[in-house]
Amino acid sequence: MMQNELYDSIDKLLTDLDVPKEIRALNRELAEVSGHPINAQNLWDALQSSGFLDVLVPESAGGAGLGWSEAWQVLFASGRHGLPLPVGASMFARAVMTSLGHEPSKQIITMSGFVQHGPDGVMLVRDLPAAKLSDYAMVQDHDTIYLLPMSEATLTPAGGPGCFDGQASWPRAVVNQSVVGAAPRGLLAQGLAVALAAQMAGAADRTLAMTLDHANQRTQFGKPIGKFQAVQQQLAQMAEWVFSARMASQIGAQSEDWQVLPMPAAVAKTQVSAVAVSIAHVAHAVHAAIGITAEYDLQLYTRRLYEWARLGGGEPYWAAQIGQQALSRAHMLDFMRQGVFQEV
């Protein structure tokens, strides 16, 4: 367990909030409605009043003026508690709004850098993270940034039970009224990639801790199942994946301000998405049937791993971005030595 003042503060806050209990309350409401937003204000108000959501906002705009390297602590902790809210997206959205000369919104903001266009100017966003829990969606189309109200969206559920993501579409009139400015292409996609990688690293860490505890407590044939070589091999491989996810997510969060470093962002999302599903698979294999029960907490974290791995561009998309950048360089050795650690 890490020792960091920022991490320890938000970890205590989320522990006191009893996030698993809150998630189950949201799941019950989710089962009762379809295509409509869900009220997550209880969790959000606690985060809002804590000030953690303004980590990336400059001091001149009332924020902490810190960078992604510090924001990583907040995102890792939120992932470790399985928080389904778009914490990273909202943090980054506030910084983007400030950079464009706007007052940072205090609402719940989800994010996407991938849009499609339908008939009559409709804007469509598939796989929108936490769409059912959000007030607004910040999306980017080429170099234009929009802040679209979820209350004006046609929302279609995505995923299975317990999934808060969705597909959203807005009519042209709403889209035209929601422009907030221009930014370099790919900015939102890269920021969301860094945020989701950090959150996945946290969820993976909690999943490993739960799996180790279960393996040491569950007995079979007179001894803990963690004493069996086959299980030990699975746990060792899982631990390697979890710590590789942490390191990759920290590579993505190197920036000392709110700006995103494109290649580190791509590396982070590629690697963490690549191992997230395998981590969840091993956790459920070791836990066996109890791991998929609604009463047991494991599924609260593995659901997030499965979802976040594909959201914001999965492993194939971000690996392709790395490949394209590598092939555009005259010398591959220069890319290997420098490309990951600076903008290219």
Residue range 155-190, pLDDT digits in tens: 998 888 889 999 999 999 999 999 999 999 999 999
Q: Which residues pair with 166 in a beta bridge?
A: 128, 157
Write out residues in the chain with pLDDT < 70, as ranges. 1-3, 33-36, 338-344
Closest CA to 248 of 191, 201, 309, 185: 201
Classify strands 116-117 and 109-112 as parallel, antiparallel or unpaired. Answer: unpaired
Q: What is the pLDDT of residue 3?
A: 52
Q: What is the pLDDT of residue 164?
A: 94
Q: What is the pLDDT of residue 250?
A: 96
Q: What is the pLDDT of residue 340?
A: 57
Instruction: Report whether 139 contacts 150 (CB < 8 A).
Output: no
DSSP 302-315: HHHHHHHHHTTS-H
Residue range 189-233, pLDDT digits in tens: 999 999 999 999 999 999 999 999 999 999 899 899 999 999 999
> Quick one: DSSP state of residue 299?
H
Retrieve residue 218's tokens.
């569950």
DSSP 58-111: -GGGTS----HHHHHHHHHHHHHTT--S-HHHHHHHHHHHHHTT-PPP-S-EEE
| CA–CA dist 321, 335 (Å, integer) | 13
| CA–CA dist 223, 343 (Å, integer) | 52
Closest CA to 94 of 83, 85, 107, 112: 107
Q: What is the pLDDT of residue 160?
A: 83
Instruction: Report whether 277 contacts 304 (CB < 8 A).
Output: no
3-state SS assignment for residue 138: strand
| CA–CA dist 271, 268 (Å, integer) | 6
Domain limits, the chain: 5-182, 187-341
Q: What is the pLDDT of residue 171?
A: 97
Q: What is the pLDDT of residue 1?
A: 47
Q: Given 1.10.730.10, 1.20.140.10, 2.30.30.60, 1.10.540.10, which CATH number is that of 187-341?
A: 1.20.140.10
